[in-house]
Copies of this chain bind each other. A is one copy, B any other.
């Protein structure tokens, strides 16, 4: 049996025992495909599953009644989506596929079973969902207290950091399948203003962008400009219970 995508993800943080792997794999549902642009779910939907991104890019967004949109988070390969919807039943944001996607599904019901049978996995779920909070803290910091150029720099750097953590490679060219409007909605600026800022940043030889790629030309300067802290730190599993089976 090849590892399920959930297992692959969890195993990145912890060496799962064969029993644990089996438990997770047996509860997982068939992966599902979503075409670019489709909606995995909408704000307010009643959620019954936790998702893991297997392939592709998605984004959490929320629309204000004015029609404005705020992009809250990006989700890449390996990310867990929907933990807060599990706890509170209705989704606090919509999830949209930014590229074609393949997604693994884990039913809410199964989560209860897993918590009982495999406390160590429960601890792992708990920890993984904390990454979400940490990421949100960083976005907040950036939005609240910095100006446009720094916000964009921050966005690019944090996407790069997360993608590099997944790929293990350190490439200055990152693929960001977002339009200028998307970028604006993520950092709280207008598309027009994003355009001007990107031009300026290009002139200043900080970045380069075309279509769906961004190149971090002068990464040290970007880091300074954004006052970026790469918060990626290893999971602390010292308090985890020992595995069963």
Residues on B with beta carbons closer than 8 Å to the beta carbon of A143: 140, 143-144, 188
Residues on B with beta carbons closer than 8 Å to the beta carbon of A55: none
Q: Which of A26-43 contact B (CB under 8 A)?
A: none
Contact of B83 with A130 in the complex, beta carbons under 8 Å: yes
- Answer whether A236 and B119 are a contact pair too, CB < 8 Å, given A145-B68, A188-B144: no
State which size class the interface on A falls in: 35 or more
A244–B236 CA distance with the chains assembled, in angstroms: 27
Chain B, Cβ-Cβ closest to A89: B236
Is A3's beta carbon under 8 Å from chain B?
no
**Contact flags (1/0) for A40-78 with B, using CB distance below 8 Å?**
000000000000000000000010111011101000000
Interface residues of A (CB under 8 A from B): 62, 64-66, 68-70, 72, 83-84, 86-90, 92-93, 108-109, 111-113, 115-116, 119-120, 122-123, 125-127, 129-134, 136-141, 143-146, 185, 187-188, 227, 231, 233-236, 238-241
Contact of A72 with B129 in the complex, beta carbons under 8 Å: no
